[in-house]
């Protein structure tokens, strides 16, 4: 996952938390919870137009039922999380994000794998 500051000023005290889960699509709005408050650990400053990478790994093999359900759209692989930072005017900001991979063949062809933005769970201030 790449996090990019598209602003014209640096982002200070940047914290990022992200998770990967395989869940039923109908549970998307209740099962994906970001820790609140986030642990203030490994904060960084991100220059204007700067970026950094956050590596994520799913810690187990998907079951045959999960694979079938991802293909038929019953379940999805979700990448979700929050980015918190302080802007140049010392205002605390956040971005919540949620993407999903569902109703597509699994395993994905890496060059064609697309996570789509979910209808809910994406907002910022």
Write down the pLDDT at residue 109: 62
Residue with token string 């759209």: 73
| Cα Rg of the chain (Å, integer) | 16
- Give yes or no for residue 87 having a pLDDT over 70: yes
Q: What is the pLDDT of residues 10-51, one digit of tens each?
A: 999 999 999 999 999 999 999 999 998 888 889 999 999 999
Query: What's the whole-number mean pLDDT along residues 78-84?
Result: 96
The pLDDT of residue 76 is above 60? yes
pLDDT of 110 higher than 90? no
- Cβ atoms 28, 120 nearer than 8 A: yes
pLDDT of residue 112 exceeding 90, the answer is no
Q: What is the rounded CA–CA span in Å between residue 121 and residue 98?
A: 5
Span 4-18, pLDDT tens digits: 999 999 999 999 999
Cα–Cα distance, 93 to 125 (Å, whole number): 6
Quick one: pLDDT at residue 111?
58
Count Cβ atoms below 10 Å from residue 69 Cβ, excluding itself.
Answer: 21
What does the domain layout of the chain look like in residue ranges?
A: 2-124
Q: Do the Cβ atoms of 84 and 92 come closer than 8 Å? A: yes
Across residues 54-67, what is the average pLDDT? 90
Distance from chain centroid for Cα 111: 19
3-class SS of residue 101: strand
């Amino acid at each position: 996952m790449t996090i990019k500051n598209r602003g014209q000023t640096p982002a200070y005290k940047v914290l990022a938390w992200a998770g990967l889960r395989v869940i039923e699509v109908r549970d998307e709005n209740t099962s994906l919870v970001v820790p609140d408050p986030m642990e203030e650990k490994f904060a960084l400053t991100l220059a204007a137009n700067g970026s950094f990478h956050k590596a994520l790994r799913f810690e187990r093999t998907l079951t045959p039922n999960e694979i079938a359900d991802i293909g038929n759209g019953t379940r999805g692989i979700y990448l979700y999380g929050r980015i918190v930072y302080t802007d140049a005017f010392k205002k605390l900001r956040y971005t919540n994000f949620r993407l999903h991979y569902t109703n597509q063949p699994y395993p994905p062809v890496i060059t064609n794998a697309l996570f789509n933005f979910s209808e809910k769970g994406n907002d910022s201030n």
